[in-house]
Amino acid sequence: MAVDLRAVAELSGVSVSTVSRALRGSPRVNSRTRAKVLRAAESLNYRPNAAARGLRTRQSQLVGVVIPNLVSVTFVNLFSHLQAGFRAHGYETVLSVTNGEPEQELAAFATLLGHQIDGVIAIGSYSVSTDFLRESRLPAVHLFNAPDQPAGDCVTINEFESTQDAIGHLISHGHRRIGCIDGSSEPTVAGYEYAVRKHDLPMDPQLLHLGKYDTETGTEGVDKLVALDDPPTAIFFGCYENWLSGIPRLLEHGLTIPDQMSVVCRDDAEMLRWWRPSISAVDVQVPAIAKLAVDRLVDAMATDEGALTEQRHGKYQVATTLIKRHSVADPPRR
């Protein structure tokens, strides 16, 4: 039923090995036979069986991308760029969404391993699954987090500096009480504190709301900050999921941006440009991150044959950019 190498061989009157070579562009084949073979393959609509090839070559040309969600446009963009990047290197991409659940992440790695993927990009992974991944010895690259005992190179954004930049920007506008909402992230807290201290402002832990990378945290955080006795005059949102719900919540509280509340978000998105007023944001340079991750993984997959047992994994950080729009003003007079 299915058209295989043998069928092409018969039609073109040569052996399967010759067909295989011809199709794969081996130089060790007469150009006239090659033409003949190509014509036959074309007319039969031959398509190589990737599974069989993978079985033989021990390479599936498949890479896994394990991602917490597709809610964040940052992740969606990232995936698009990763897919395009890998495709340029001849790899197809298999996506797995974990909903931020450790078990789902573990299951994803296991399933992908069963499908003989050649490597994996792990985004925001948990320690259990990182252990699993490391022990599997599969070429891997961590994205957006750098575990203590990584399974491969780590590509991250500079959360510390980007937070510091954003907070510094707000302070330079005269804000003295600045709220910060984020999924739990040490570098973000550190960056916040550093910026506050550097400008000799008092550090008030009440202004920090750390939760998860989800929309609930955004609304909760806004509710909490707004209800403070001495509420902030500006808020920094640390991630897409948080600001997506948090900004509308601000409006719901009757606050106008930027007159009554200045806002800066990390994870830029088209929407922030469209909104009125447009919102200042930290751009995380998704294309650059994706390119770096692809390159590192492709590299790891290539040199994996040599398999240095206790290889040192590289750490990379991609710098972020602060885009100033119209959501930041001087704080209102008291």
Partner DNA sequence: TTGTACGCGTTATCAG
Partner DNA sequence: CTGATAACGCGTACAA
Contacts with a second copy by CB under 8 A lie at 47-52, 54-55, 60, 62, 70-71, 73, 76, 79-80, 83, 92-95, 97, 110-111, 113-116, 215, 244-245, 248-249, 251-252, 270-271, 274-276
Q: Do residues 243 and 214 lie in contact, with contact meaning Cβ atoms separated by under 8 Å?
A: no
Minimal CA–CA distance to 284: which of 189, 161, 175? Answer: 161
71 binds, among DNA, a second copy, none (CB under 5 to 8 A by kind): a second copy
Q: How far is the CB of 35 from DNA (least distance, A)?
A: 10
**Helix spans in 14-126 (H):** 16-23, 31-44, 50-57, 73-88, 102-114
Q: What is the dihedral of CA 319, 102, 209, 316, to 10 degrees?
A: -10
Between 117 and 178, CB nearer to a second copy: 117
- CA triple 9-12-15, angle to 5 deg: 35
Contact flag: residue 56 with DNA (CB under 7 A): yes
CA angle in degrees (0–180, nearest 5) for 13-16-17: 120
Is 117 within 8 Å of 63 (Cβ atoms)?
A: yes
Interface with DNA, residue 43, by CB under 7 A: no
Between strands 178-183 and 234-237, the pairing is parallel
Residue nearer to DNA on the CB measure, 15 or 303:
15
Q: Does 158 bind DNA (CB under 7 A)?
A: no
Residue 288 contact partner, candidates a second copy, DNA, none, CB within 5 to 8 A by sort of partner:
none
| Residue 60 binds DNA, judged by CB under 7 A | no
The whole-angstrom separation of Cα 172 and Cα 169 is 5
We find the least distance from the C-beta atom of residue 63 to a second copy, in angstroms, to be 12
- Between residues 192 and 240, which has the closer beta carbon with respect to a second copy? 240
Which range binds DNA by CB under 7 A, 17-25, 136-144, 289-297, 316-324?
Answer: 17-25
* Long-range contact set of residues 146-149: C-beta below 8 Å, sequence gap at least 24: 146/315
Q: Residue 157: what residue type?
A: I
Partner in contact with 92, chosen from DNA, a second copy, none, beta carbon below 5 to 8 Å by kind: a second copy
Q: Answer positive or negative: Cα dihedral of 256, 258, 263, 265.
A: positive
Residue 270 binds what, of DNA, a second copy, none (CB under 5 to 8 Å, by partner type)?
a second copy
Pick between residue 163 and residue 242 the one whose CB is nearest to a second copy. 242
DSSP 114: H
With contacts defined by CB under 7 A, name the span among 56-64, 128-136, 234-242, 309-317 that binds DNA. 56-64
Residue matched to tokens 């447009």? 278
Candidates 20-28, 208-216, 264-272, 305-313 — which segment interacts with DNA by CB under 7 A? 20-28
Binding site for DNA (CB under 7 A): 2, 4-6, 13-18, 20-21, 23-24, 27-34, 46, 48-49, 52-53, 55-58
